[in-house]
Amino acid sequence: MLNNPILKVENLHVNFNTYAGTVQAIRDVSFDLNKGETLAIVGESGSGKSVTTKTLMGLNAKNAAIPDNSRLLFKDRNLLDLTENEWQSVRGNEIAMIFQDPMTSLDPTMKIGMQIAEPLIKHRQMKKEDALARALELMKGVGIPNAEEHINDYPHQWSGGMRQRAVVAIALAADPEILIADEPTTALDVTIQAQILNLMKQLQEETASSIIFITHDLGVVAGMADRVAVMYAGKIVEYGTVDEIFFNPQHPYTWGLLNSMPTTDTEVGSLEAIPGTPPDLLEPPKGDAFASRNVYALAIDSKEEPPFFKVSDTHYAATWLLDERAPKVTPPEKIQKRWAHWQEIQGQEA
């Protein structure tokens, strides 16, 4: 699986020049996306996950600055070298995006069928009628009942869940190779969330596209992702397969995220929030950005940034706790349970 990356992100930095100074929103992010896999990028708001996706779509605000050594390699091209015209043939065509809020992301004055047909007219040079015919198929594909009757509807006539299906249909219209989903279910009811997630999973199996799934909610990651990257303060702090992140987490930030996530066996009242707030990226702290909120912080954390330590071939974490000189720490009780479960799985496999 690892040997077939469709997208390689290397040393990505994104800075925003604001009146108050330069905000270092993304600070050296690298990852691969393999064909047909779903990569989840998880983090709190402000961790840089949304900026990462906007960068992948070439949709950053005008005040964004990306240094020359950053690379987004997609099909032998560095996307960062593209002109605006070249970007237009990538967006919605090779890389498409599902937005967060279906209530605001559809044009209220355009018929939904037409909004789905637009990428086809643009990228497949289809005639309007053909594009609308294909849009109808797509509407059926994303599970819109009686699609024929609703192709000429306007967004305000539809519920949030139905609209998000339409947004998914727009993203899939031109058969993109990469689908970026930016918190696609955050704005929806829980039951609708599950429907949309199932839909995405099913469509991915049909089309073999790769998905980058952005979320702050580890709960939805479990069923969706093959691999997970945890972001904090503009950096990836830990990445691995979904099992490795869930059952063998190494970074204290990942521990915090998992502890703040409700699970079926969570006792009432035992959810723990991570204390404190993410650092100000106008002046990122020296060393490990998480140190100030980390109860396991080492003295070195405030002096030097931790490198990635290898846990397995697929699993890396940037925390000094993995250094051989570091003391052995006992993670929170719930993380110990997860580790124990991991030992079981490993034992079974072995």
Binding site for another protein (CB under 8 A): 57, 59, 85, 87-93, 96-97, 99, 101, 104-110, 118-119, 122-123, 154, 156, 167, 170-171, 275-277, 279-280, 291-304, 320, 323, 325-327, 329
Of 205 and 304, which CB lies nearer to another protein in the complex structure? 304
Q: Are 178 and 212 in contact (CB under 8 A)?
A: yes
Shortest spacing between CB 291 and another protein, in angstroms: 7
Q: Look at phi and psi of residue 143 and say left if phi exceeds 0, alpha if psi is from -120 to 50, else beta.
A: left
Q: What is d(CA 110, CA 101) in angstroms, rounded to the nearest whole number?
A: 17
Task: Name the minimum Å distance from CB 180 to another protein.
Answer: 9
Q: Do residues 108 and 173 lie in contact, with contact meaning Cβ atoms separated by under 8 Å?
A: no
Nearest distance from residue 53's CB to another protein, in Å? Answer: 10
Q: Which residues, including other chains, have CB under 8 Å from residue 254's CB and lie 6 or more apart? A: 230, 237, 238, 245, 317
Our CB check for another protein shows the closer of 8 and 293 to be 293
CB nearer to another protein: pick between 31 and 296: 296
Q: Exposed, middle or buried: residue 139 (CB in 10 Å: 0-12, 13-18, 19+)?
A: buried
Nearer to another protein, 153 or 226 (CB): 153
CB of 99 to another protein, least distance (A): 6
Nearest-approach distance from CB 104 to another protein, in angstroms: 4
Query: Cβ closer to another protein: 280 or 344?
Result: 280
Question: What count of residues does the chain have?
Answer: 350
- Indicate the DSSP class of residue 267: P
CA distance 216 to 257: 9
Q: Are 266 and 257 in contact (CB under 8 A)?
A: no
Closer residue to another protein in complex, CB, 20/268: 20
Q: Could you tell me the smallest distance in angstroms from the CB atom of residue 74 to another protein? A: 15
Q: How far is the CB of 271 from another protein (least distance, A)?
A: 17
Give residues with Cβ within 8 angstroms of 85, minimum separation 6. none
Integer Cα distance of 38 and 298 in angstroms: 34
- Given the complex with another protein, which of 45 and 343 has the nearer CB atom? 45
Q: How far is the CB of 277 from another protein (least distance, A)?
A: 6
Least Cα distance to 33 among 157, 173, 212, 156 occurs for 212
Q: Name which of 35 and 124 has its Cβ closer to another protein.
A: 124
By three-state DSSP, how is residue 29 classified?
Answer: strand
With beta carbons less than 8 A apart as the criterion, state whether 91 and 57 touch. yes
Q: 11-37 in b/e burial notation, b at 16+ Cβ within 10 A?
A: ebbbbbeeeeeebbbbbbbebbbbebb
Q: How far apart are CA 124 and CA 139, in angstroms?
A: 18
Between 111 and 341, CB nearer to another protein: 111
**Shortest Å, Cβ 305 to another protein:** 10
Nearest alpha carbon to residue 175 among 107, 99, 123, 132: 123
